[in-house]
Amino acid sequence: MAKPIGIVCTGLTVRFSTAGVPVLHDVDLDIAAGEQVALLGPSGAGKSTLLRVLLGAVRPVAGTVRVGGMDPFQRGQQRSVRRATGVVRQRDDLVRGLTARANVLVGLSHQWRAGDWFTVMRGRVPQRFAERLAVLAARHEVEDLLDARIENLSGGQRQRIALVRALLPEPRLLLADESTSGLDPARAAEALRHLRTAGATLVVTTHDLAVARQFGRIVALRDGGVVFDGNELTESDVRDIYGSIEVLQEVSA
């Protein structure tokens, strides 16, 4: 298993338009290698954007990011950051028109050799990855789904395929963006358990207090700023995060 890597962000500010309100504002975040963190906050708080910044997909207007000591905005280092990271998102982001098997293998495309392109095109698994894929597919109960095209799978099945895609390259950092919200409670708990036992540094975004409370460390965002960083959320902390207790009751209902 590859060694986990840490994250250091200082003074991160992200704006999508020059005049607009910042989506992230002066965010400092230090996550040690191997740590497991819940990133909590209401919709629009900037959680997903923060994850995209870590991958070098959204450029901040100010601040620095280091993932495993590497800068995701440096040409040479961006790929290393991305190859060390596994991502699972709530949004359905598997490629339609391909089989589940091809989707899963594409997560490893940087490790392919020339011949592997044709192997994958023919619907097979390159020898070197076969065992690893078989183990993961069995663990996540997707063996029977690998031949299916993505458009023919249910939301929950796709979520499991996306999870296998993220885990197959044995990532050193796992970023899960509301990855359990499309699943029923039993599946969600199981998916979370798989993420937590993958041996990687883990950042899980969620708007669900119950999910966040399973983590030893909770970082809460609101309106693009960190409003809480600790392990015990009090009622007043929750009020700070969600704005009002009425909303909180709606959320937990």
Partner 1 sequence: MSSNTTPRVRIPAQRGSRETPPAPARRESRTGLRWLLTAVVAVAAVWSLWSTDVGIGSLLAGRDGAARMIDGLFPPDMDGELLSRVGIAVVETLQISIAALVIGAVLGLPLAALIAGNVGAPRWLAIPARLVAAGLRGVPELLWALLFVATVGLGPAAGVYAIGLHGAGLLAKLCSEQLEAVDPAPVEAVRVTGSTKTAVAVWAILPQARASIASQLWYQWECNIRSSVIIGFVGAGGIGQALGIALKLFRYQELATLIITVLIIIIAVDRMSVSFRARVGASTSDTATYTRTSLVQRLLRPSRK
CB-nearer residue toward partner 1: 189 or 227: 227
**Beta carbon of residue 183, minimum distance to partner 1 (angstroms, whole number):** 18
**Beta carbon of residue 44, minimum distance to partner 1 (angstroms, whole number):** 5
Beta-sheet strand order (sheet of 62-67): 24-31, 7-14, 62-67
| 17 is an interface residue for partner 1 by CB under 8 A | yes
Q: Are 171 and 84 in contact (CB under 8 A)?
A: yes
**Beta carbon of residue 98, minimum distance to partner 1 (angstroms, whole number):** 5
How far, in Å, are 26, 36, 106, 195, 220 from residue 113 at the CA level?
42, 33, 12, 28, 42
Q: Phi first, then psi: what are they for 16, rounded to 5°?
A: -90, -25
Among 2, 61, 95, 210, binds partner 1 (CB under 8 A): 95
**Beta carbon of residue 215, minimum distance to partner 1 (angstroms, whole number):** 23
Q: What angle do CA 80, 41, 155 make, to 5 degrees?
A: 70
**Beta carbon of residue 11, minimum distance to partner 1 (angstroms, whole number):** 19
Contacts of 61 (CB under 8 A, 6+ apart): 13, 14, 15, 22
| 187 is an interface residue for partner 1 by CB under 8 A | no
Contacts of 175 (CB under 8 A, 6+ apart): 51, 54, 55, 85, 86, 87, 88, 203
| 89 is an interface residue for partner 1 by CB under 8 A | yes
Site for partner 1 in 208-227 (CB under 8 A): 223-224
Among 8, 148, 189, 247, binds partner 1 (CB under 8 A): 247
> What are the DSSP E strand ranges found in 68-200?
85-89, 173-177
Site for partner 1 in 101-160 (CB under 8 A): 102, 106-110, 112, 117, 151
Site for partner 1 in 36-75 (CB under 8 A): 42-46, 55-57
**Beta carbon of residue 218, minimum distance to partner 1 (angstroms, whole number):** 19
Distance, CA of 15 to CA of 111 (rounded, Å): 34
Among 6, 62, 83, 237, binds partner 1 (CB under 8 A): 83
Distance, CA of 215 to CA of 176 (rounded, Å): 14
| Binding interface with partner 1 (CB under 8 A) | 16-17, 20-21, 23, 42-46, 55-57, 79-83, 85, 87, 89, 91-98, 102, 106-110, 112, 117, 151, 165, 169, 223-224, 242-244, 246-247
